[in-house]
């Protein structure tokens, strides 16, 4: 299905801002802006079953939106095709309510109002209510922190989220709860502006999961490429260590992610961890290793982690259903996850995180509930619940797989929220992605005091992150206004080996400007 957003009175630049919202209602549709001068059909022309049109204009001072086209309408019980020509208007009272709260963002008011009229129109037509309203950004908790900085009262914060952004009451409550848990850590960062987080990327995996769009390269057959990559990574780590030392900066979080870092051999892991020990560190440092695949974890590697000061592991089953694990291309069973988890917990008191994904192919609410109950018996300190996001580059997307329907995904998330609350886990970070099932969110849960500080830092963008390795992103945060400067390494490991030095120099320049000291390049 193709959906065109058009207007006789609103610029294409403003209309572009409404496309993400339309995609939230129609994730499989081809959505674009179009104008009569470009040959698109008129709003009153005969219905083409493959094209729908949304026309938005200002009429008598108010925003008015028209829908013209056929629509396959689906709910819990029925699926039918309608021809629901419809008109909706944003009244003066509604516009006053939207504009009558503090303006905390940078978005143009016309774009805000455009999104509201599109939201109103599509909610009426589809019967779908978006819990996040017109918000399409990936870090909604930042809005709460920004309003806290401005000393905006809680009741006003709620009015901003509800009136201006149309966020549901349940999501507002969730954001407030997460922000409260994050606040003590973020307050500590204010007092220690010399602390940074460090991310180290290992973009290799034992096999590629069918839903994955990340460029994880298979660590099978010849290891020549992996060895070449580790040589470049080693050089970059040494230079970053020198840079941070010269600037008086210290790492309070080191996160080794991927890919699957545990595809490295024990000697390779030992050398990497030894090199990272040269980074200037704070006394209370969090060191995380993504040990996501149980088929890559051994007692030798776990012993190595314990000896090198790793204090947080992420063992990620994604599901505890064997048929699904096979379907998505993971070469292990649920029992192997249980065995490795128990082995790890018996070796050390490190914090262990586990990941599950809602909406995996062929799974329903009962499967999710069963996976949750199996994980509950293990009692991990942290549990991250992802909602499946189908992106270009994944095998599922390329093969035409469609998301589980919205109602089913919402029931899965409601089940997760209910069960984690029963266990005593609390939500501590949240982020959203494009093309997520149900237009929902990923949530990290933790027992109080076991929250992953790196996850808070990367999501709330109130601490600089120094990214090392292929696919890593450096984010330099100006602590005066929390503005960002980003540097992105190539996702391709071979390209990274060629150009990382150029990006390193760019990073040094940004660090110098931000922290005000000079680094000796010699």
Contact 521, 508 (CB under 8 A): yes
Q: Average pLDDT, stretch 244-255?
A: 96
**Statement to judge: residues 160 and 196 lie in one domain:** no
Q: Average pLDDT, stretch 424-447?
A: 91
Q: Is residue 522 part of a domain?
A: no
Per the structure, how many domains does the chain have? 2
Q: Is residue 227 part of a domain?
A: yes
Question: Looking at 182, 200, 216, which one is the last position of a domain?
Answer: 182
DSSP states along 347-365: H---EEEEEEEET-TT--H
How far is Cα 353 from Cα 514, in angstroms, rounded to an integer? 33
Q: Which residue has the tokens 């009136």?
A: 163
How far is Cα 419 from Cα 427, in angstroms, rounded to an integer? 12
Judge whether residue 522 has pLDDT over 60: no
Q: Is residue 178 part of a domain?
A: yes
Residue of higher predicted confidence among 268 and 434:
268
**Statement to judge: residues 161 and 214 lie in one domain:** no
**Statement to judge: residues 199 and 226 lie in one domain:** yes
The predicted structure's pLDDT at residue 518: 47
Judge whether residue 517 has pLDDT over 70: no
Judge whether residue 268 has pLDDT over 80: yes
From residue 318, give the alpha-carbon distance in Å to each of 15, 220, 313. 38, 22, 15
Q: Which CATH number is 361's domain given?
A: 3.80.30.20
Q: Is residue 476 part of a domain?
A: yes
**Statement to judge: residues 290 and 363 lie in one domain:** yes
Q: Is residue 520 part of a domain?
A: no
Nearest to 487 by CA among 497, 475, 499: 475
How far is Cα 154 from Cα 175, in angstroms, rounded to an integer? 12
**Statement to judge: residues 148 and 232 lie in one domain:** no
E strands within 94-249? 195-202, 204-205, 217-218
Q: Average pLDDT, stretch 219-238?
A: 89
Tokens of 218: 């298979």
Q: Average pLDDT, stretch 408-412?
A: 90
The contacts of residue 99 (CB under 8 Å, 6+ apart) are: 109
Phi/psi at 197 (nearest 5 deg)? -100, 155
Between 36-40, 338-342, 369-373, 441-445, the lowest mean confidence (pLDDT) is in 36-40
Tens digit of each residue's pLDDT (9 = 90 or more) over 284-334:
999 999 998 888 999 999 999 999 999 999 999 999 999 999 998 888 999
**Statement to judge: residues 228 and 371 lie in one domain:** yes
Judge whether residue 214 has pLDDT over 80: no
DSSP states along 274-329: HHHTTS-EEEEEEEEEE---GGG--HHHHHHHHHTT--EEE---B-S-HHHHHHTT
Q: Average pLDDT, stretch 109-130?
A: 94
The predicted structure's pLDDT at residue 521: 41
Confidence of residue 40 (pLDDT cuts 50, 70, 90): low
Tens digit of each residue's pLDDT (9 = 90 or more) over 41-85:
555 556 566 788 899 999 888 999 999 888 776 555 445 567 678
**Statement to judge: residues 123 and 204 lie in one domain:** no
Tens digit of each residue's pLDDT (9 = 90 or more) over 7-19:
989 999 999 999 9
Question: Looking at 182, 217, 239, which one is the last position of a domain?
Answer: 182
**Statement to judge: residues 116 and 229 lie in one domain:** no
The predicted structure's pLDDT at residue 462: 96
**Statement to judge: residues 232 and 135 lie in one domain:** no
Confidence of residue 122 (pLDDT cuts 50, 70, 90): very high
**Statement to judge: residues 236 and 299 lie in one domain:** yes
- Is the previous residue joined to 259 through a cis bond, with omega within 30 degrees of 0? yes
Show the CA angle centred on residue 70, arms to residues 69 and 75, nearest 5°. 130
Tens digit of each residue's pLDDT (9 = 90 or more) over 27-38:
878 899 987 666
Confidence of residue 368 (pLDDT cuts 50, 70, 90): very high
DSSP symbol at 436: B
**Statement to judge: residues 197 and 129 lie in one domain:** no
**Statement to judge: residues 398 and 295 lie in one domain:** yes
Cα first-last separation, the chain: 58
Q: Average pLDDT, stretch 214-241?
A: 86
Q: Average pLDDT, stretch 191-219?
A: 85
DSSP symbol at 389: B
Q: Is residue 233 part of a domain?
A: yes
Tens digit of each residue's pLDDT (9 = 90 or more) over 477-501:
999 899 999 999 999 999 999 999 9
What is the domain range of residue 36? 2-182
Nearest to 451 by CA among 312, 282, 306: 312
The contacts of residue 46 (CB under 8 Å, 6+ apart) are: none
Confidence of residue 452 (pLDDT cuts 50, 70, 90): very high
Question: Looking at 182, 216, 243, which one is the last position of a domain?
Answer: 182
CA dihedral sign, ordered 510, 511, 513, 514 = positive
Q: Is residue 109 part of a domain?
A: yes
Judge whether residue 23 has pLDDT over 60: yes
Q: Is residue 370 part of a domain?
A: yes
């Amino acid at each position: 299905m193709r959906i065109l957003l058009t207007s006789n009175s609103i610029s294409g630049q403003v209309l572009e801002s409404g496309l993400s919202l339309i995609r939230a209602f129609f994730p499989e549709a081809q959505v674009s802006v179009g104008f009569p001068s470009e040959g698109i059909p008129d709003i009153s022309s005969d219905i083409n079953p493959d094209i729908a049109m949304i026309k938005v204009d200002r009429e008598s001072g108010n925003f008015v939106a028209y829908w013209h086209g056929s629509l396959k309408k689906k709910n819990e019980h029925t699926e039918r095709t309608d021809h629901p020509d419809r008109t909706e208007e944003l009244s003066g009272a509604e516009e006053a309510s939207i504009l009558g709260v503090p303006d905390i963002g940078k978005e143009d008011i016309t774009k805000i109002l455009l999104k509201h009229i599109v939201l109103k129109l599509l909610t009426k037509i589809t019967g779908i209510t978006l819990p996040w309203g017109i918000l399409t950004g990936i870090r909604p908790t930042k809005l709460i922190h920004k309003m806290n900085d401005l000393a905006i009262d809680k009741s006003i914060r709620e009015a901003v989220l509800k009136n201006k952004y149309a966020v549901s009451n349940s999501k507002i409550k969730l954001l407030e709860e997460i922000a409260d848990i994050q606040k003590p850590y973020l307050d500590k960062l204010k007092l220690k502006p010399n602390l940074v987080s460090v991310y180290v990327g290992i973009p290799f995996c034992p096999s590629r999961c069918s839903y994955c769009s990340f460029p994880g390269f298979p660590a099978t057959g010849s290891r020549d490429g992996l060895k070449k990559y580790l040589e470049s990574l080693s050089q970059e780590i040494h230079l970053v260590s020198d840079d941070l030392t010269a600037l008086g900066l210290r790492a309070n979080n080191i996160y080794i992610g991927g890919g699957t870092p545990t595809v490295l051999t024990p000697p390779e892991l030992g050398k990497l961890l030894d090199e990272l020990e040269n980074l200037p560190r704070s006394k209370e440092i969090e060191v995380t290793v993504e040990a996501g695949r149980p088929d890559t974890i051994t007692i030798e590697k776990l012993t190595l982690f314990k000896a090198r000061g790793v204090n947080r592991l992420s063992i990620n089953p994604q599901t505890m259903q064997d048929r699904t694990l096979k379907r998505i291309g993971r070469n292990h069973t649920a029992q192997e996850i249980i065995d490795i988890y128990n082995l790890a917990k018996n070796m050390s008191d490190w914090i262990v995180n586990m990941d599950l994904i809602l909406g995996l192919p062929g799974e329903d609410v009962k499967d999710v509930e069963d996976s949750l109950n199996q994980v509950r018996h293990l009692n991990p300190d942290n549990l991250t619940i992802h909602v499946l996001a189908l992106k270009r580059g994944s095998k599922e997307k390329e093969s035409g797989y469609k998301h589980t329907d919205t109602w089913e995904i919402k029931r899965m998330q409601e089940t997760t929220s209910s069960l984690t609350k029963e266990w005593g886990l609390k939500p501590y970070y949240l982020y959203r992605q494009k093309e997520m099932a149900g237009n929902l969110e990923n949530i990290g849960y933790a027992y109080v005091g076991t929250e992953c500080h790196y996850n808070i830092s990367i999501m709330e963008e109130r601490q600089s992150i120094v990214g090392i390795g292929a696919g890593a992103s450096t984010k330099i945060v100006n602590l005066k206004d929390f503005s960002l400067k980003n540097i992105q390494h190539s996702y391709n490991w071979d390209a990274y080996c060629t150009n990382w030095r150029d990006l390193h120099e760019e990073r040094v320049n940004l660090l110098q400007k931000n922290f005000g000291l000079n680094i000796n390049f010699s």
